Amino acid sequence: MQFFYTVRPGDTLYQIAERWQLPVESLIAANNLKKPYTIYDGQQLSIPPGVDRIRIKKGDTVYAISQFYGVPQSAIIKANRLSPPYMLQAGQLLNVPRGLSYYVVQPGDTLFQIGKRFNVTTNGRSNPEWIRQINGLLSYALFPGMKLLIPYVPPGGQGFIAYTSNAGGTDDIWLYNPATGLNKQITDGLGAAFSVPFWSPDSRNIAFVGKNNILYVIQLTRGTIVRIDQFSEEAGHYISWSPDSRKFAYAKQNEIILYDLLSQRLQKITQHGVTDVQWFASGTELLFQAPDPAGISQLYRMRTDGTRKQQITKNTGGLLNHVRLSPDNLFVLYTTPGVSISLIYTVEIATGNVFEVKGGPLGKNYFPVWSPNSSTIAYSATAFEEADYFSLIRTAGKRGEKDQTKALSSCFASPVTWSPDNRKLAFLSGCYNQGAASEIWLFDVLHPVPIRLVKGAAIRSLQWSPAPVFPMKKTYTSPDYQVQFQFPGNWERVTEERFEGPDGFFQVSALFSEKDIHGVCHDEAFHQLLPYGSAPRITQTQIQHQEACFIFPSEDQPPEMKNQAALIVRYPKPIQLNNSTYNYFVLWADQHHLRELSSTLVFLK
């Protein structure tokens, strides 16, 4: 839920932002303020996440702190579970909430206006229904003085975010859908705390190193998981997919491994000290880090057959870590020299020119990642206040220009990931007492208001899918109806015969008729209740060499039918179900998915 601060006399946006050390641009975006950004006494402002912990100094009191921050004493007492007489100790860490956890309705307010003002929007459109539901309102009617909780809602957009979490009891790979807000666990006991998901360019596969250091590939379109290899050590493995999504490369024990997922063939290239192997867009060259003859870390390029090795850098310092090639293959970034100090540099491959990214105040800059269009780098920069460590989510140009803070995370360091359209960044937060992250947040670089996507168990890593569509499929198998077919992986079971999702549904059944396929299809299409409208369209076809037909609705189909269409297929051999005989299989589904579902239909006997 969002927090709201009530503006006091003399307040300015910059003063309010400074109290919680958050970017003023984020404060402006959180409230959709227009130039010249004027605020007035009594105005309620949504305050994005910032630095909300302070270390108590001698003489501090709850009253004095509440006066400085403009937050009610009761909110501070509740946030810290303080007991009377609310005494504070020097050196104590105190949470200072960003205000109250509710908005007080003003005269003239509507749910639509509130949703638009405080970014309760999906795909750029106000989503007031979420506000109504979260507050248990029976209607959209409001009256002044009402206290409303203002939620974060799914932002919409393309692609899926894969992340590692123990929300299911063990560390596993999960998927988050920004369009619907749904989360789905896609492995069961195979992950590890160090697992990082690596998407193939077509978003059909995810590679990760999991339990017992085993390298797995999740084949989303097939709903299968394949075991590929095993490592002797745990963390630090980078998996790079070839441009055609058929192969992937990784380093193992002084070797470059190239694995072909289709042919299951493995190629090895000996290379001492190699790390961070990745593909050039040509699919015929590799980039990697390895020591030169003097033992100094350098970047190299080489053909996939192990020939034409060329040195790219002229490094004289420490190890080059976290090497990442830009999608346009014109630049490469790395961090150096290590953990206590981690600086980000980029190299222009054609010229060898090196550029430094300014970075955060402590020289601890981690997890740099290129935007899909290669124009911008996002990364996490550790910062320190007397309160605690936290991190700045920053962006910079490919030559280090325009380096600026966009949001804050409560973690020491946070992985970041770009959306396929280059517009949004997701990152981890919710680290309490420097434990694991427990939240995923997102913001739009052009409208940087942080939105919380996921909250709950420990979350270790995340990566947005490169492709804008979601290809994952599940397999529906029914021994009763003796059929099997694939359907979208984000649909959930309603009954044994029916599955539904935010974008469609299917339901299976069977019938007996002495009529031929034409008669059966006509009777279904023109049922007296007109479930397909007054003028349905019947198309004859064959499924698995069996007579079949599609029934598609006309424009006047009743809305409650949810675009229902039908497939009727004659069974190869009549089935017995509950002591009755059936010779036709029926698949009902929304018309947008029916042909896709039917293309995978097979009879079990």
- Whole-angstrom Cα distance, residue 456 to residue 167? 7
| Letter string b/e over residues 570-584, b meaning 16 or more CB atoms within 10 A of that residue's CB | bbeeebeeeeeebbb
pLDDT in tens, 16-59: 999 988 999 999 999 999 999 999 999 999 999 988 888 888 88
349, part of any domain: yes
Q: Are residues 165 and 142 in the same domain?
A: no
Q: Are residues 304 and 429 in the same domain?
A: yes
Q: Are residues 429 and 485 in the same domain?
A: no
294, part of any domain: yes
* Phi–psi pair at 370, nearest 5 degrees: -80, 145
Average pLDDT by stretches of 10, the chain with 605 residues: 94 92 93 92 94 87 91 91 89 88 94 93 86 91 94 89 94 91 90 94 93 93 86 85 95 94 92 96 95 95 95 92 96 92 95 94 95 96 80 95 93 94 94 84 92 93 84 83 89 92 90 95 94 94 92 92 94 93 96 89 88
User: Among 438, 464, 490, where does a domain finish?
Assistant: 464
User: Among 427, 446, 464, where does a domain finish?
Assistant: 464
Q: Which pLDDT score is estimated for 386?
A: 63
153, part of any domain: no
| Letter string b/e over residues 412-434, b meaning 16 or more CB atoms within 10 A of that residue's CB | bbbbbbbbbeebbbbbbbbbeee
Number of domains comprising the chain: 3
156, part of any domain: no
Q: Are residues 294 and 435 in the same domain?
A: yes
155, part of any domain: no
Q: Which of 308, 305, 320 is nearest to 274 (CA)?
A: 320
Contact indicator for 181, 193 with CB cutoff of 8 Å: no
Number of other CB atoms surrounding residue 295 within 10 Å: 8
Q: Are residues 384 and 308 in the same domain?
A: yes
154, part of any domain: no
Contact indicator for 42, 138 with CB cutoff of 8 Å: no
Q: Which pLDDT score is estimated for 259?
A: 96
253, part of any domain: yes
* Phi–psi pair at 80, nearest 5 degrees: -110, 0
Number of other CB atoms surrounding residue 271 within 10 Å: 21
Q: Are residues 308 and 445 in the same domain?
A: yes
- The residue with tokens 């921050």 is 69
Q: What is 430-479 written as a DSSP string?
A: --STT--EEEEEEEETTEEEEEEEEEEEEEEEEEE-SSSS---EEEEEET
User: Among 410, 435, 464, where does a domain finish?
Assistant: 464
Tokens linked to 385 = 């206040």
CATH of the domain at 528: 3.40.1000
| Bond from prior residue into 155 cis (ω within 30 degrees of 0) | no
- Whole-angstrom Cα distance, residue 72 to residue 78? 10
Instruction: Tally the C-alpha atoms within 13 A of residue 310's C-alpha that lie toward its C-beta.
Output: 11
Give me the domain span that covers residue 550. 473-603
Q: Which pLDDT score is estimated for 126?
A: 85
Task: Report how far Cα 293 is from the mean position of its chain's Cα atoms.
Answer: 42
Q: Are residues 143 and 169 in the same domain?
A: no
Q: Are residues 563 and 536 in the same domain?
A: yes
Q: Are residues 452 and 480 in the same domain?
A: no
Q: Are residues 123 and 227 in the same domain?
A: no
CATH of the domain at 52: 3.10.350.10
Q: Are residues 303 and 439 in the same domain?
A: yes
Q: Are residues 494 and 348 in the same domain?
A: no
572, part of any domain: yes
